[in-house]
Amino acid sequence: MEAVLLIDFGSTNTKVTAVDPIGEQLLGTAVAFTTVNTDIGEGLAEALTKLEKQTGPLHFLKRYACSSAAGGLRMVASGLVPSLTAEAARLASLGAGAKVVKVFSYELTDEDIVEIAALKPDIFLLSGGVDGGNKDCILHNARMLATLRVDAASGVDRGPFPILLAGNRAAMAACETILTGWEVIRCPNVLPRLGKLNIEPVQTQIRDLFLRRIIHAKGLSREQALISGILMPTPAAVKRGIELLAEGIPVAWGPSQGGIGELVAVDLGGATTDVYSVAKGFPQAGEVILKGLPEPLSKRTVEGDIGMRYSAAGVLEAAGLGRLMELSGLAEDGVIAGTVRLSAHPDDLPSTTEEERLDFALAAAAVETAVSRHAGTLEEIYTPTGLVLVQSGKDLRGVTNLVLTGGALIQNPRIGEIAAQARYNPAHPESLRPGGERVFIDRRYILAAMGLLAEAYPEAALAIMKKEIKEYGTEK
């Protein structure tokens, strides 16, 4: 049998998945610790040894990989107005699978430049101004970034990270001149006019930069002889798999196959929580006014302060001590001591009833907080003409499908109760969270692998997901 191998070089674990694309079958999965600080191939070899014990020897026709190892793809972005061009830059970066470590608005200061240097981003996205609008801000920010261009150690005049230019097109040529010596890639404006997002070209360039520069910088290029290609950052692979599961395969790609429909997906990790939605999110009533940028059909948000281990303290801060006490049934001292312990010892697994209850509370609160931040909000505003309802973000109340993935979720025996925290709550009508009547569990953690497989075998990827990602309560 000729199989395809799908590899995910994660920051903590390297995951391998073997599939038969012709028979549309999942053959096996295995996990090993990611040895990014020594030789990343060691972790891969260990995972492959474990996989072969399940499947027997396999001949791999193709080997595809994604990666979030060594911290993933770190991006910093800047724009003009926080709710407009800066937000458009943030959406573009997150949608491409990047970890956005900072977004700046308005003119950069000397202090901002010091902070950017300390953040050491892999890519900087420089935006600002609609086409034909303000040019001063993006030109000022280009001049500020140019002060970073000389490597003091070598004296070489070059930028320390590539810059994507995606702002007011009337300022692009001048920005390129200012940034002579940098690796600069010009893209169409992420916000060419008010109310019009154009983030796909930037996302394509982010992926290309990931392949050309970041893979080499992270030390992954030495594995290129073993694989057909590292295709994308891991979050982008997950997003691709989720989009396929939701939308299916359009006729233009071949025989049409339907997906499961609009969905919200939650990937809960030890350090961060990713939330994805594939949904229009339009207002459900005609009298609602939309505020802010139009939302992309496929959207990703990342909560970098919320996680089950490294960011357990962030869950406590975001949800509040009282909420964790309510969910866990533990006293104040038990909750505080437990979160401190988990933050200091992220490899700890629950071994007592109290620790299991705290794990449940952290997962439930993380899901509740992350989905609330991802979903839109509804606000009542009183005007001279009467009460007006204003919606910011997506209205997800009509979304019935909720997909859960990540070890902290799929291994928790109370996953049904955790899923309930993602749903719309009439007690908090301002939070437009999904209805989520149907809950699907990615038990074998294959979404990233299927996103990779979809690049060459979309039909097989969709068929395998429909077999393996089962609705909660119908699993065997």
Q: Which residue from 40, 93, 38 is spatially nearest to 65, judged by alpha carbons? A: 40
Question: Which CATH number is 1-67+218-227 given?
Answer: 3.30.420.40
Q: Which of 127, 126, 128 is nearest to 145 (CA)?
A: 126
The predicted pLDDT at position 68 comes to 75
Closest CA to 474 of 423, 416, 433, 417: 416
- Class for the domain spanning 73-214: alpha beta
Structure tokens at 44: 């891969």
- pTM higher than 0.75: yes
The ranges assigned to domains in the chain are 1-67+218-227, 73-214, 263-305+365-441
Q: Which residue has the tokens 């992420």?
A: 190
Cβ contacts of 104 within 8 Å, gap of 6 or more: 76, 77, 78, 79, 86, 112, 141
Residue identified by tokens 């312990």 is 341
Predicted confidence at residue 157, as pLDDT, reads 47
Cβ atoms within 10 Å of 326's Cβ, excluding its own: 14
**Which amino acid does the sequence have at 71?**
G
Spans of the chain below 70 pLDDT = 11-12, 34-40, 69-72, 149-159, 212-230, 251-256, 475-476
CA–CA gap between residue 126 and residue 107 (Å, rounded): 11
Retrieve residue 302's tokens.
Answer: 């990342």
Least Cα distance to 5 among 40, 44, 33 occurs for 44
Count other Cβ atoms within 10 Å, centred on residue 282.
13
Long-range CB contacts for residues 279-284, cutoff 8 Å, separation at least 24 = 279/394, 279/396, 279/398, 279/399, 280/394, 281/376, 281/393, 281/394, 281/395, 281/396, 281/432, 282/395, 283/391, 283/395, 284/395, 284/397, 284/398
Residue pLDDT, tens place only, 100-154: 889 999 999 999 999 999 888 989 999 999 999 999 999 999 999 998 865 545 5
- As a whole number of angstroms, the distance between CA 285 and CA 397 comes to 12
- The answer for 50, left when phi > 0, alpha when psi is -120 to 50, beta otherwise, is alpha
Structure tokens at 4: 């395809």
Q: Report d(CA 28, CA 51) in Å as an integer.
A: 6
pLDDT of residue 401: 96
> What whole-number distance in Å separates Cα of residue 43 and Cα of residue 38?
10
Provide the token pair at 173. 């040529």
**Amino acid 169: pLDDT:** 94
